Each structure stands twice: as structure tokens, then as C-alpha cells.
Structure 1
Amino acid sequence: MTTSVPPADRRVPEAVHRRRWAILGVLMLSLLIVVLDNSILNVAIKTISTPAPTGLGATQSELEWAINAYTLVFAGLLFTAGLLGDRLGRKKVLLAGLAVFGIGSALAAESGSPVQLIVFRAVMGLGAAFVMPATLAVLMNVFERDEQPKAIGIWAGGVGLAIAIGPITGGILLDHFWWGSVFLINVPIVLLALVLMFWLVPDSRDPNPGRVDAVGVVLSVIGLVLLVYGIIKGGQLADFTDVKVLATIAAGLVVLAGFVVFEKRSDHPSIDVTYFKNKVFSAAIAAIALVFFALMGVTFFSVFYTQSVRGYSPLQTGLLMLPLAAAQIIFAPRARLVVDRFGNRATCTAGLLIIAAMLAAFAVLDTDTPIWLLEVIFFLMGTGMAHIMTPTSVVIMQALPREKAGSASALSNTFRQVGGALGIAVLGSVLSTAYRSGIEDKLSSVPAGLRHTAGESIEATLGVAAKLGPQGKALVGPANDAFLHAMHVTALCGAGVALVGAVVVAVFLPGRTPDAQEGKEEADLVPVAEH
């Protein structure tokens, strides 16, 4: 990918220079809908799991796939999409990506089954993969070098905005319309973005584009899908020793190992695996992946806690998540000041320790815990995340040569997506396994044919209980108790993963650098936005 800064002697045409801030607005609008869609979906998963006609009756594993189908396609195609933009023209690729995303959104809104929703979410991920890298490449070509840091900061701020308004928007839509409205809302925004982009955004391309690594893309996607499928299936069966589960996970690991070997030997790899020989770079990438592992996993189970156990509406759930986004908006721009004083190692280690502590704090939440405690947990978790994302972006730039800025940025975004997908798969499977073990002996009153389904998730149990009428009311209390136990186990597992990340960061990230050297390095760096 060639998203790095253009040569210093490149001049932006005057006509383009005059409308550069309007172009930035259009690029932010494109970025907004890609990020907004996932944050809107967070509050809709409980509704989608409700039996028809309210929802689709999706099982917990199907919900995990509805989220991960988007994420895995997005992550797997990010590098290839960037290279195609360089080759074919960034504007053309942006327009095509937005169109595919809009079509996928419209189809997802009309899904008649969980399987259809999963397929159409994958289509949306395909479109998003072409939008994300092209927006940064266009930005780099319409701003002069001295304005690029400011433009990138504003552009990346769109992510915080989307995280903040997504759950609230989803809650408002679900309070007034059917579940598909959380996807259909994308369509008019996409149409507006297409019109403005066609009118305002200039086209650009790399005169010497890289070659597309088709084999690497296929291997990475197949390997990740097999790995995630095995993890989710193990949670669904509550048995990770099942032969099919072990075989699928092993096959995924083998394919991913083959991907690494192929990339090492390729003269045009999607991912230059030699980057990971740099321990500082690897530690920073690991920190990014672990942050999103925690974020996506926590979001997944906290929605069921607030809506199924505590009885809050989707809109109220969206408002409850505001502290998580607010903390990131407040502290992310200021995290660099903390790094200047204490160094990257101390700042990122403290951030991961805060995340680990807040995950562990979920283990004290009960059916009648004061809700302000959840708000404090969300705010502190967002604070910890903010003090990891900004410093690690700078660390990645310090760890690699400047000409590798574009691929380094793409790598950090890829691992963010993969970390999020694994967070949902792993923590979702732990939740499912622990829930089934806690509810199975309470299902004796349920008809034999429904027991397996009723044990998959709290929503499945409550759905079966509703069908049983007065007899099913006796299942509500045990379902809540089993879910709380499962959530506590899941949160403690997540806390353990975050602690491992804190150790890795503490050992391998650089400490505080001398002020003079730091100033020199900052002058030579290309800023990277974490989106």
C-alpha cells in the first residue's frame, strides 16, 4: 500500500487545495458509516436474538458469526483493497466500496434468517475493506505535508464520534422501528456520500503500484475462518475436546502457518512478516489486538447483561455505553502528554492493567448492582484504551523505517480487526460454555427436543420459557443466575488475557526517551491514525 506521505516536493493542485477541508468531510462521512455500523449493531444483538417476528431468533453462535463475518472479510482484504486502490484509482475504489457497503446494508436489513444476515454482513465487510485504506490515501494526496497531521487527527476523530453516537442511534431506531433499521440507516448516508464524493474528491493512483498477493489473501481468510469457527463451535457444544472442534481449530492453525511460510517466501507479500522480528513492533501490535479483543468481547456480553438481566431498553443500553466512548474522546488526544512524562512502556502497561482490572470488576456485577458502578467500569476501561492506542501508533512508527508507514498502519488496523474477532469468538465461547454448564440441570421441565436449544444462551432460555407460559416463569431466575456466573467467568478470563498483554508490553516496549532525541524522532515521524 502507498498510504505514506507523498514526496515533499509534490504540490497539491490549487483547485483541490481550496476544497481540501470539504473533501476531508466527505472522507469522514465514509469512515463514519463503516465504524458506525458495528457500534450500532452492538445494541441490536439482543433484539436480533429474539424469536420472530421481533427478531430472527439467532443463537449466540450465529450472533458471533454475524459480527465476525464482517470483521474477518474486512481484515482479510484490507491490504489487497489498498493495493487495488493504488492501481485502479482511489476514487474509483472508494465509490465501488461504498456502493457494495450500501447494497450489503440494504440486503442485511431484509434478511429472513440468521444465515442470510451472516452472508450479507460479509458483503458489507467487503465494501468496508475498500473504503478504509482509500480514505487515508486520498487524504494524503489532497493535503500538503504540513497540514497532514492535523487532517489525520480530525479524520481519526470520526471514529470516536461513531463509537459515541452508534449505540444511541441504534437504540432510537430499535425503540421505533424493526431490527433491520440499524442496517437500513446506512443506505441514505451512503447515497449522500457517493454524490458528494463524485462531485468533490479527485482521483489519484500510485504510478508504481504493488502486486496483489491473491494466494496470501485466500490463505489468511481461510485460516482465520477455520480458527474462529472452531472456537465458536466449541462454545456452542460446550465441549472443546470434541473431535470436530479440535480438527477445525488445528486446520485453521495449519493454514495460518502456511500463510506465514508463503509470505516469507513471496516477493510481494500482503504482510511482510519480517516486521515481527522487531520485538518493539510486535509488542505494540499485540497491545492493539488485545485492546480490541477486550473491547469487542466486553461489548458482546455486557449488552445481554444490561438488556436481558437488568431489563434496560436498547436506547438505555446505548446511553449506558457513552462513558466508554467519552473517555476515549477525552483522553486519546492527551495520551501523548502522559507518554512525554512517563514513557511508552509505563503508559501502555498502565493502560492494560486498567483494562484487566475493569474486566475483573465485571465479576462483582449482580442483578441489583447500582448501575453507576457499570458506568465507572466503562469510563475507566475507555481511559485505559485511550492510553494504549495513541502511544502504540507512535511506537509502530518509531520501530519501522519511514517508508513503511503505509503498511505499518494497515497492519495495525488488520490486527485490530483480528483481535476483535477473536475477542468475540473466544470470550463468546467461554460465555456460552459456562452458561450451558450452569443452566443444564435446571431444564428438566423443558421438553427434551428443546433442551439443547434452550441451553445455548440466556435469550434462548427466555425464548423457550415464553413458549411454555406459566410453567416457563420458573426458568427466568435460574437463567439470570447462570448468565451472571458465565459473565463473571468470561470477564476473569478476559482479565487474564489483558494481564498477559501488560507483561508483554512491560518487557518489550521502549521506556522514556531523552527529550532531545524524542523531539528529533517526532520530527521525522509520519503520523498514523488508529481507526
Structure 2
Amino acid sequence: MVETLVRPDQRNDRAGVGGSPRARTWTLAVACMGVGLVVASMTALNTALGDLAVATSATQSQLNWIVDGYTVALACLLLPAGALGDRYGRRGALLAGLVIFALGSAAPAMLHTPLQIIAGRAAAGVGAAFVMPATLSLLTVAYPKEDRVKAVGIWAGTAGSGAVLGMLGSGVLLEFWAWHAIFWSLGVAGLVIFALACTVASSRDSTAPPIDKPGAVLIGAALAIGVAAILEAPNRGWSDPLVWGGLVAGAVIAAVFGVVEVRRRQPLLDMRLFADPGFATGVASIVVLFGATFGFFYLGMQYVQQILGYSPLMTAVAFTPFMVPLAICSALSFWYLPKLGLRLVIFMGTALMSVGFISMHVLDLHTSYLELAWPTLILSTGIGFCTAPTTSAIMGAVPDEKQGVASAVNDASREMGGALGIAVAGSILAGRYSRELAPHLTQFPAPVRGPATDSLAKAVEVADKLGPQGRPLAELSKTAFMTSMHSSTTVLAVIVAVAAVLIGLWAPGPDGRQLTPVRGAVARARRAAGRHRAAAR
């Protein structure tokens, strides 16, 4: 009789804490390995694009999609994959995803045309879409609520460090082998983690609702079209019909998804959750965080390689300190989050990020590594301060039978933020670079001016071919790049600072209250969501 009075999410919580501490720690280790591999795969190919271009004769657009095809496939399938894990088993979703990821990652090592490599990367992204939400939802149902923030903090720190680990690993591989080794290594790593994941306890929620197929199709299409359009913006420009048309189409489909979900008894994503200040703060903050992270890497990698002349491996080594404050702050979130509250944590973290971007103005053509390191550490500290609390806010607002979907929302926010960060930074960099350089190239012939204004890399390549006469061109191009990079970091600093104020006004404090007068509306939305779930059961 007592059991009938216990809500399904309470039953799941009791089941989740039934395992031994050793079993939960092992689940955390496997989950961190899985998410680390998925994130590392996003950046691993950045160090090998030059080799790929030579070996496959890929165009610049094809090279972009060798990287971005993975991201688009991952983003558009995250929510359906998370729901499938909730419904049919999270460990099963993790295992299936790892197999698909391993096969898709290894396939390009045996293929030779750009289109085949793009297809293989997209297949790996499909597998990653099942892996990423499964790793987080396995943790949140395995750990008791009082320990979840600590586990999520370790997971979030690993996810945040994955980008640097991917560059570092691929840089080491390229020192000894050809680019094929990167694909083979990703495939083998996926199979190794698959073997380890077989030992993790199964996790399936019998109360999870059936898969909302219309919702899955709509949100998948919206994310795929929107992310693809954003990723094309730096190359085509925001005024290109494919870019703005894709953004409009993605927004319209997303709006249709919201209307459909509100009317369904068992939606894929309960839209009323966005009225919860913790959930909404988590989603908005993660978009900002990962936009800043990927925008920084997009600018920083080009600066370190093109201006300072670092090799791919040394570039990865140069960014390794980025992981230290991020990992420490994420792991300690269980201590400072209850004391400070989500509002102050997010405000302080985003403010630090803004300071980090402004501090990048000290960089010039002859910067030392230490002058690069300290703005990087400021930025990383701000990101690390916010990463785990925002993820915990999202997961904590959703009942246990929907943890896979909540994890997918968290991951989709990361992908959307990363794509936006690259698009904003890349668009400003490309536009300002061309405007700054073009007036100074009148003394050069037209065959030189065209490639030089496309990018710094092409300008340096042309300058090398010209010999001593190319030195002025290289200097002019590098100066124009520095000016445009500073413009990009200024815009990113302003965006993050504005987000800090807006999110700080909306986010709840330690007492769960907001500064803005929306508590009554939120309370009503929560009661309505509770009645909606009760009616569905």
C-alpha cells in the first residue's frame, strides 16, 4: 500500500542508489570516457585538415563538412536518442551508440573520396547522439540526489576538457603516423569503451512514456537545418539565402515543435520546463558557455598556428592548461553551488569569461606564451565555474523517467552554442580581415590579392611562393588578422557580459527565488506540469 503512494521518479531514485559505491564509481568512469571520446572527436580532425586536403583533393567546403557533418548528425538526433534510452534502456543506447560511432569513425581510414569521408563522419555523429545523453542519464539515475552534483561536476569537467584532449591526441598521432591513424584510433577507442560499458549496470525506466515520433522528427529537422545554416555562416555570410533561409526554416520548425509538444499528453520535451528558472537558466547558460568556448578555440588555434608558428602538436600542448581550472571548478561545484546559488555562480562565471576575452587584447604579433596563458586561464576559470552547475540545473528540473531527454537537451544546447560561437567569431574575423587588408594590397597583382583576402593561411602561402617580395604581404596579412581577431574577442566579450546580466536577473538564488517578478508564473507552470504528468500516468 505504501508503494502506491511513491511517485515513479522516487522509485527510480531508490533503484538508482541500490548499487554499491564501487559500482557507481565505475559507472562514472565509463560515462566520462564515453563523453570524453565524443567531444574529442569534434576537434580531433582540426589538426589534420591540411593533410586531408592534399590526400583527397577536398575543397574548403568539403573540409568544413568533414568536421561539421559529425556535429550536425549529433545535434539533430540527440533528443530522440535520449528518449529511446529512457524507454528501452540507457546502457543499451550507450552500447549501440559506441558500435555505430566506432564503425563510422574507422570507415574514413579505408575510404578515399571527400564525400565518403563526410558520410563516415556523419555515421559517427549518429552513434555519438546515442552515447552522449546516455552517459549523463546513467549517472543521474545511479547516484542519490545528494551526490549527483559531484558526479555531474566530474562528467562536465571531462566534457569541457574533451576538445583539448582531441587536439592533443591527434597532434601526437600525426607526429608519428599519417592522418589515417586518427580515424583508426577513434574507432578502436569506441570499441574499448564498448567492452568496458558492458560491465555497467543496466538502467531502464519502465514508466518512461512511448517515443513521441512527430516531436522527434520535428526537433531533429529543426536542429539539423538550424545548425547546418549556422555552420555555413562564416563561409557564405549571414546575408546568403541558404544561411538566413535555413535559420528561418529551423526557427519555424522549432516553433511548430513547441506547439505540437504543448498539446500532446506525453511529449518528447515538456515545454513547460522552460518556465522553470533553473532549467531555463541552465539551457541559456550552456549556449553562452559553449559559444564562448568554441569561439575561443576557433580564434586561438588560428592565432597560435598562423601568428606564433606552432605545430599542430604544440598548439594542443599550448591549450592544455585550459583544462586545469575548468576541471577543478567543475569538480568543486558540489561545494560552492549550494553556498552561492545558481544566480551568483552564473553571474561570476560569465563575468570572468568576458574579462578573459577582453584580456586577449594584449596579444600581438610577438606575444610570449605566458602572455597567451593568463587570458586563457581567466576564460577557463569562468567556464569551469558555470559548466557543472548549469548541467545540474537542467537535470534537477526533470523527473527521473525523463533523464535521457534532459541530458539530450543539455547536449543539444552545447552543440547549438558551439556552432553559434564559431559562426559569430568566424564571421566577424573573415569580414573584418578582408576590409582591413584589401586597401593595402593595391601594389600587388590581382592573382595575389584574391587569395590573400580570403584568409591568413592563404595569404601566408602566397607570400611564401613570392620569396623575399612576399614578406610585406605576410606582415600586412598578419596585422589585419590581429585587428580582426581583436574585433571578434570584443564582440564575444560584449555578448557574454550582456548574457551575464540577463541570466543573473533571471536565475534563482540560494533560496530558489528570482530577482525578477515571475515567481507566481513559474509556480503556476510547475503545478500545471505536475498535473500534466499525473494525468499522463
Superposition TM-score, scaled by structure 2 size:
0.82
Shift of 1:504: 1.2
Number of the residue aligned with 1:168: 168
Q: Give the percent of matched residue pairs that are identical in Structure 1 and Structure 2.
A: 33
Given the alignment, which residue of 421, 425, 430 partners 2:428? 430
1:390-425 deviations in Å (ceiling 9; x for gaps):
333444456566766554343222212211121112
Distance in 2 (CA, whole Å) between partners of 1:319 and 1:281 is: 36
Counterpart contact for 1:435–1:483, Cα < 8 Å:
yes
Cα 1:493–1:464 shift into 2, 3 Å: same
Distance in 1 (CA, whole Å) between partners of 2:242 and 2:302 is: 29
1:346-369 deviations in Å (ceiling 9; x for gaps):
221111111111112223311112
Number of the residue aligned with 1:134: 134
1:45-76 deviations in Å (ceiling 9; x for gaps):
xx4146843786653x6555444432332222
Cα 1:39–1:217 shift into 2, 3 Å: same
Cα 1:309–1:84 shift into 2, 3 Å: same
Counterpart contact for 1:232–1:426, Cα < 8 Å:
no
Partner amino acid for 2:352?
A: I
Shift of 1:101: 0.8
Number of the residue aligned with 2:301: 303
Partner amino acid for 1:29?
A: M
Give me the CA root mean square deviation. 3.6
* Stretch of structure 1 that moved more, 98-107 or 4-13: 4-13
Shift of 1:308: 1.0
Number of the residue aligned with 1:30: 34
Shift of 1:324: 1.4
Number of the residue aligned with 2:494: 496
> Are 1:75 and 2:75 an aligned pair?
yes
1:425-463 deviations in Å (ceiling 9; x for gaps):
222222222222233345567775775555332223333
Partner amino acid for 1:344?
A: L
1:126-159 deviations in Å (ceiling 9; x for gaps):
1111112223444566667887666555555543
* Stretch of structure 1 that moved more, 172-181 or 488-497: 172-181
> SS at the partner of 1:7?
helix
Counterpart contact for 1:224–1:252, Cα < 8 Å:
yes
Given the alignment, which residue of 285, 289, 292 partners 1:291? 289
Shift of 1:373: 1.8
Number of the residue aligned with 2:103: 103
Counterpart contact for 2:76–2:221, Cα < 8 Å:
no
State how 1:371-450 maps to structure 2 within 5 Å: 371-396=369-394, 406-441=404-439
> SS at the partner of 1:210?
coil
1:320-377 deviations in Å (ceiling 9; x for gaps):
1122110111222224444444433222111111111111222331111222121111
Cα 1:22–1:184 shift into 2, 3 Å: same
- Structure 2 unmatched runs, 5+: 1-7, 513-537
Counterpart contact for 2:136–2:407, Cα < 8 Å:
no
1:249-306 deviations in Å (ceiling 9; x for gaps):
3333333333333333334433222212234432332111100000011101110100
Given the alignment, which residue of 336, 345, 348 partners 2:346? 348
Counterpart contact for 1:50–1:56, Cα < 8 Å:
no
Cα 1:266–1:27 shift into 2, 3 Å: same
Partner amino acid for 1:82?
A: G
1:112-131 deviations in Å (ceiling 9; x for gaps):
46555443332221111111
Number of the residue aligned with 1:527: none
Counterpart contact for 1:98–1:131, Cα < 8 Å:
yes
Counterpart contact for 2:158–2:327, Cα < 8 Å:
no
Cα 1:142–1:340 shift into 2, 3 Å: closer
Counterpart contact for 1:64–1:425, Cα < 8 Å:
no
1:465-510 deviations in Å (ceiling 9; x for gaps):
4455565454322221222122111111111210121111221112
1:195-226 deviations in Å (ceiling 9; x for gaps):
3334x245443334433334333333433444
Number of the residue aligned with 1:331: 329
Number of the residue aligned with 2:458: 460
Distance in 2 (CA, whole Å) between partners of 1:106 and 1:397 is: 33
State how 1:26-65 maps to structure 2 within 5 Å: 26-41=30-45, 44=47, 47-49=48-50, 52-53=53-54, 59=60, 64-65=64-65
How many residue pairs match? The answer is: 507
> Are 1:122 and 2:122 an aligned pair?
yes
Partner amino acid for 2:70?
A: Y
Number of the residue aligned with 1:251: 249
Number of the residue aligned with 2:313: 315
Shift of 1:108: 3.6
Distance in 2 (CA, whole Å) between partners of 1:13 and 1:345 is: 33
Number of the residue aligned with 1:220: 219
Distance in 1 (CA, whole Å) between partners of 2:32 and 2:234 is: 38
Partner amino acid for 2:209?
A: G
Distance in 2 (CA, whole Å) between partners of 1:138 and 1:300 is: 32
Partner amino acid for 2:204?
A: R
State how 1:181-260 maps to structure 2 within 5 Å: 181-198=181-198, 200-237=199-236, 239-260=237-258
Cα 1:167–1:384 shift into 2, 3 Å: same
Number of the residue aligned with 2:4: none
Distance in 2 (CA, whole Å) between partners of 1:281 and 1:146 is: 18
Shift of 1:318: 1.2
